[in-house]
């Protein structure tokens, strides 16, 4: 069972990724992948939208907020995109293990 903060972080990732894919990327298709193991959660969202040049465009407030959530939880967050090639966002969170 995940803590509320992890659940909200994953929910916001998907929510913001879908909103950006439709609003900014004008994507027709979006793929979401969630991979969970005992040690970590990896999530990605990929779209077939317009894409952008990450070197020239700073992420908007929504993506910066998602990145901040992942980093606050000692996770990682990354964006891959190129004009005309769609956008991929990735997040990874380490799950806390209890020591006995």
Domain that holds residue 78: 4-94
Measured at the CA of 69, the angle between CA 53 and CA 97, to 5 degrees, comes to: 125
At residue 33, does pLDDT exceed 80? Answer: yes
Task: Please state the pTM of the whole predicted model.
Answer: 0.87
What pLDDT, on a 0 to 100 scale, did the predictor assign at position 1? 75
Q: What's the CATH code of the domain at 45?
A: 3.30.565.10
Average pLDDT over the chain reads 90
| Joined tokens for residue 19 | 């909103």
In a domain, 99, yes or no: no
Dist CA 95 CA 1 (whole Å): 10
In a domain, 100, yes or no: no
Which residues, including other chains, have CB under 8 Å from residue 88's CB and lie 6 or more apart? 44, 45, 46, 47, 79, 80, 81
User: Per residue in 57-85, pLDDT tens?
Assistant: 666 777 888 999 999 999 999 999 999 99
In a domain, 50, yes or no: yes
Instruction: Please give the tally of structural domains in the chain.
Output: 1
């Amino acid at each position: 069972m995940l803590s509320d903060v992890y659940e909200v972080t994953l929910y916001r990732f998907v929510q913001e990724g879908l909103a950006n894919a439709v609003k900014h990327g004008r994507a027709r298709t979006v793929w979401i992948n969630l991979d969970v193991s005992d040690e970590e959660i990896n999530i990605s969202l990929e779209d077939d939208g317009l894409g952008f040049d990450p070197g020239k465009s700073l992420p908007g407030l929504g993506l910066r907020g998602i990145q901040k959530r992942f980093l606050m939880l000692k996770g990682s967050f990354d964006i891959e995109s190129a004009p005309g090639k769609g956008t991929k966002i990735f997040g990874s969170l380490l799950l806390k293990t209890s020591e006995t």
